[in-house]
Amino acid sequence: LSYFDEWKESFTPKMLKSFQLAAEKEPDSIDYCIEYGYNYAYYENSIKGIEILEECKSKFTPNYRLLSYLGDSYLLAGKYEKARDYHLEAENGEAYTAQKEQHISIQNAYSLGRANLQLGDKIEGIKYLDIACNGGQGLLQACSRLEKEKE
């Protein structure tokens, strides 16, 4: 196993348990709910993480971060249309404009670009990768992918 794999195997259960306990002890916290679901999706099981995030969505008024993380989780699960829908809802919803955080917004654009490419929409994919790359000032992986897609 690589160092990362060993770290992940030893750290993931503790981290997820911490997020789970935080969400249980603070059931009125959308932030703990989101972090638990997203980290579960990313480090353990995307489908179970999506279920947790969908529960958050039904329990709380959705915000930009929840929708973006739901989109990322669906992307991890290979459910590209659902991923695109959530990312677009976060990006285009007027209610979420004031909630955008720079790093999450850039990640959202990158994920939206990836989802569009997976769905065969190269024009929209490149458009959102370009937003995420931000002229070389954004995500490095978005810039790399953008160059690859433009070839």
- Inter-residue long-range contacts of 135-144, CB under 8 Å, 24+ positions, other chains counted: 138/106, 138/109, 138/110, 139/106, 139/107, 139/110, 141/110, 142/106, 142/109, 142/110, 142/113
Section 54-66 average pLDDT:
95
Specify the 3-state DSSP secondary structure of 120. Answer: coil
| pLDDT of res. 14 | 86
Task: Choose among 36, 13, 14: nearest CA to 24.
Answer: 36
Q: For 95-130, how does the pLDDT look when each residue is reduced to its tens digit (9 = 90+)?
A: 777 777 766 788 999 999 999 999 999 999 999 999
Burial class for 98, CB neighbours closer than 10 Å (0-12, 13-18, 19+): exposed
Measured distance CA(120)–CA(122) in Å, rounded: 6
Q: Whole-prediction pTM value?
A: 0.85
| pLDDT of res. 102 | 67
Name the token pair of 8.
């992940």
